[in-house]
Amino acid sequence: MKAVGYKHGLSIANPDSLLDFELPIPTALEQYLLVEVKAVSVNPVDTKVRAGTQPAEGTYRVLGFDAAGVVKSIGARVALFKPGDEVWCAGSLVRPGTNAEFHLVNERIVGPKPKALDFSRAAATAWELLFDRLDVQLGKPLNARSILTIGGAGGVGSILTQLARKLTGLTIVSASSTPESTQWCLDLGAASRQNRHDR
């Protein structure tokens, strides 16, 4: 199967920082599903993985966190899904990522894909939340309207902040827990501390 990842944690400016490569298709065992990946999200955790996790010599690390796809096969202990089910799934730092044609994932972090969403929208959580669920209008400024992102430095929150900053007139307020994540939220486009009104 085709996959995207890295061999060495290089700067993103380096042409070898992201590589296309071939891997064997994994086998679904126990409580795992083999999902044929149809769409993946962009998640900041991939940057941290690439910078901080070095694959064993001569091997690749597959990137990718969240995905949507179709169950191709199941392990013997799977009880919630069957082949042919359309699903979306969360990532894990302890197994290969979703940027591959097939992804092995424990059924406990998989959910049925909403029928109203195509695969791209199901994987693009922040876009779907902002423009489909909250019905924010692209490019139209909204006077005195704000949005609060809980976990603003996380995968969904950080992407949502950038989408809202570039494509809407919303004021973005982000919740963060450390000085580093606060600064990152501000760099992405959240309202500056100087604009807050403490009561």
User: Which domains does the chain possess?
Assistant: 2-120 (3.90.180.10), 125-195 (3.40.50.720)
CB atoms within 10 A of CB 51: 12
Buried-exposed string 95-109: b where 16+ CB fall within 10 A, e elsewhere: ebbbbbebbbbbbee
pTM here is 0.69
Residue 176 DSSP one-character state: -
CA 72 to CA 69: how far, in whole Å? 9
Q: In this predicted model, what pLDDT tens digit does every residue of 93-133 receive, in sequence order?
A: 888 999 999 999 999 999 998 887 788 877 776 776 777 66
At 15, list the tokens: 């042409």
Q: Is the pLDDT of residue 143 over 80?
A: no
CA 99 to CA 70: how far, in whole Å? 15
CB of 39 closer than 8 Å to CB of 68: yes
Upper half-sphere CA count for residue 32 (Cβ side, 13 Å): 13
- Neighbouring-strand partners of residue 148: 173
Q: In this predicted model, what pLDDT tens digit does every residue of 15-50 receive, in sequence order?
A: 988 999 999 999 999 999 999 999 998 777 788 888
The pLDDT, as a whole number, for residue 139 is 66
Residue 177 DSSP one-character state: S
| Cα dihedral 49, 54, 56, 62 in deg (nearest 10) | 30
177 compared with 141, residue with greater pLDDT: 177
CA 39 to CA 16: how far, in whole Å? 23
